Amino acid sequence: MKIIKNILAIAFLAIVFQSCSNDFFDINEDPNGPTSTTPDKMMPSVIDGTMNMMGLTSFVTTTITQHRSFTWGVPNDWSTFAWTNYSFQNNYWRVGSNNELMMQFAEEEGSLHYRGAGKLIKAFAFSVTVDFFGDVYYTDAFKGVSQPKFDDGEFVYRELLNLCDEGISDLQSNNNFRPLSEGDIMYNGDLNKWIRFGYSLKARLLNHLTKKSYYDPSEVLSLVDQGFTSTTDDAGFVYSGAWEQSNPWGPTGSSDGYGGYSTFWHKTVVDYLKGDNLGGVEDPRINFIVNTAAADGEYRGVKDGNTLDGMNADMVSPTFGKYYTTDTTPYPLMTFEEVKFIEAEAAFLADNKNRALSALESGVIANMLKVGVSQVDIDAYLANPTVFPQTTASLTLSHIMMQKYLSLGFNPEIWVDMRRHDYSTNIYPALQQPDNPNAAFGGEWIRRMEVFSTEIQYNPAEVERIGGNDSDYMIKKVWWDIEE
């Protein structure tokens, strides 16, 4: 990936200089230097950058969703969120700037499949960013505007939904110059998988609107029908494990500036997997996800990574080495099981409980098989009425959302769900705020991230306009979180 980044940097600078028409640049133009590149050369870095952005975003969201407990960078008392800037910058810099050029080169040479994939990546990256921050700049992005105007999240969502449609259309086109397989490190040029990713992403975005009067579960279900069909459709790739080519939650990826080596499993998620507050039935995934403590062989998470809740380190489950925390574990943008849980929720809200229960079961099976659970243990878990509904009459929304919570690993999408459901203990049993949370929030849960520091410094008027300097800014709901 280092070589790719150097190529892109050279190409980008060349294009910037080429856009200047004064004599100085004409005279000093290097006839041997690159003035452009091709989309296949840029696509690997765009995809890798999107995965990287996801990883950085999840370092913040996992402490809120109580999957991980940090010792630094993202204190568990919500006093600061040091990784916020990186999540923002990567959308506009590492992903966006390269992706815009890739789509430009693709259009110039008639490679519509690259342009279509780029539109879906843009829709995905911006959706993560707008869900994270609430208000972002979209209209002025990538135009060289020094103080861009922030767009409200609802406007951005409309643009992203259009991008999904446009991306799918491009990918379906028979008018294409360069085979997508030459640059595609996610699906190896499989157009059908890219198209299913587009439909799945659109289903995800529309399912965020459950608090709106115009939410249409039937539209979500129609998109699901055109989305992922199995775990082989997961939008991700297998990491090699080498530096800069490793899972951001693995030991190598974490030591590469992420700080993952300073995290521990949170007590909340570990207790859920142990069966606490979920009927006392141990989830068979726990052995494949969480390590046991060296001192006594017990599974044990912590609420506060700084103090380890007063325990010695050997009493706490070690971080690395299980399914989500190896260097080579895939870190997908979206998974088949997520789509099944989207289907289950939409069907439940459409009062189609039979479809909801079937989708829920499919999602659980897919995730358990993925992490390594045996079919025998899966069958036993699904047959236990204490943890899994046996009839549509016993199915609740909590069954669906809790299985999604336990199945999506460190995906930032979990934080979207928890906000949509108001962190309700009816959905997430016994969920509690951290000890001594930020007093400025007045006992409220976090609803959005603080404004990125670069904008506070260089775009202060816009930050002031959106209320970004207000002490309660982080507890103000983003647009889809407001009932209407």
CA 74 from centroid of its chain's CA atoms: 17
Phi and psi at 288, nearest 5°, equal -100, -5
Can you give the C-alpha Rg of the chain in angstroms?
Answer: 23
2 occurs within a structural domain = yes
153 occurs within a structural domain = no
227 occurs within a structural domain = no
> Does position 151 have pLDDT exceeding 50, yes or no?
yes
403 occurs within a structural domain = no
Exposed, middle or buried: residue 400 (CB in 10 Å: 0-12, 13-18, 19+)?
buried
478 occurs within a structural domain = no
Distance CA 208, CA 125 (A): 16
What is the per-residue pLDDT for 22? 42
Phi and psi at 376, nearest 5°, equal -60, -45
Lowest mean pLDDT among 94-103, 144-153, 244-253, 291-300: 244-253
> Does position 411 have pLDDT exceeding 70, yes or no?
yes
pLDDT digits (tens, 9 = 90+) for 412-421: 999 999 999 9
pLDDT digits (tens, 9 = 90+) for 1-37: 433 444 444 344 333 334 443 443 344 455 555 667 9
What is the per-residue pLDDT for 302? 93
Q: How many CA atoms lie within 13 A of 409 on its CB side?
A: 30
241 occurs within a structural domain = no
Residue percentage of the chain with pLDDT more than 70: 88
26 occurs within a structural domain = yes
> Does position 258 have pLDDT exceeding 60, yes or no?
no
Q: Using DSSP, state whether 288 is helix, strand or coil.
A: helix
Lowest mean pLDDT among 84-93, 290-299, 437-446: 84-93
Amino acid at 367: N
Question: pLDDT averaged over the chain?
Answer: 89
19: which residues sit within 8 A by CB, 6+ positions away? none
Would you say 300 and 270 are in contact if contact means Cβ atoms under 8 Å apart? Answer: yes
What is the per-residue pLDDT for 351? 98
Residue percentage of the chain with pLDDT more than 90: 73
> Does position 334 have pLDDT exceeding 60, yes or no?
yes
pLDDT grade for 73, boundaries at 50, 70 and 90:
low
CA-closest candidate to residue 236, choices 225, 248, 226? 248
Would you say 395 and 420 are in contact if contact means Cβ atoms under 8 Å apart? Answer: no
pLDDT digits (tens, 9 = 90+) for 172-229: 999 999 999 999 999 999 999 999 999 999 999 999 999 999 999 999 999 999 999 9
> Does position 259 have pLDDT exceeding 90, yes or no?
no
Distance CA 5, CA 94 (A): 9
What is the per-residue pLDDT for 10? 38
Lowest mean pLDDT among 49-58, 349-358, 469-478: 49-58
pLDDT digits (tens, 9 = 90+) for 239-257: 877 766 788 888 887 654 4
> Does position 480 have pLDDT exceeding 90, yes or no?
yes
The two most distant CA atoms of the chain are separated, in Å, by 77
Distance CA 405, CA 414 (A): 6
Amino acid at 163: L
What is the per-residue pLDDT for 330? 87
- The parent domain of residue 18 ranges over 1-37
Give me the number of domains the chain comprises: 1
Lowest mean pLDDT among 235-249, 395-409, 435-449: 235-249
Lowest mean pLDDT among 27-31, 38-42, 160-164: 27-31
Q: Which of the pair, 484 or 19, is modelled with greater confidence?
A: 484
Distance CA 266, CA 81 (A): 17
Q: Using DSSP, state whether 37 is helix, strand or coil.
A: coil
> Does position 365 have pLDDT exceeding 50, yes or no?
yes
pLDDT grade for 72, boundaries at 50, 70 and 90:
low
Would you say 171 and 198 are in contact if contact means Cβ atoms under 8 Å apart? Answer: yes
Distance CA 75, CA 342 (A): 31
What is the per-residue pLDDT for 373? 98
Exposed, middle or buried: residue 144 (CB in 10 Å: 0-12, 13-18, 19+)?
exposed
Q: State the average pLDDT over residues 122-151.
A: 96
Q: State the average pLDDT over residues 158-171.
A: 98
Q: Which of the pair, 10 or 72, is modelled with greater confidence?
A: 72
374 occurs within a structural domain = no
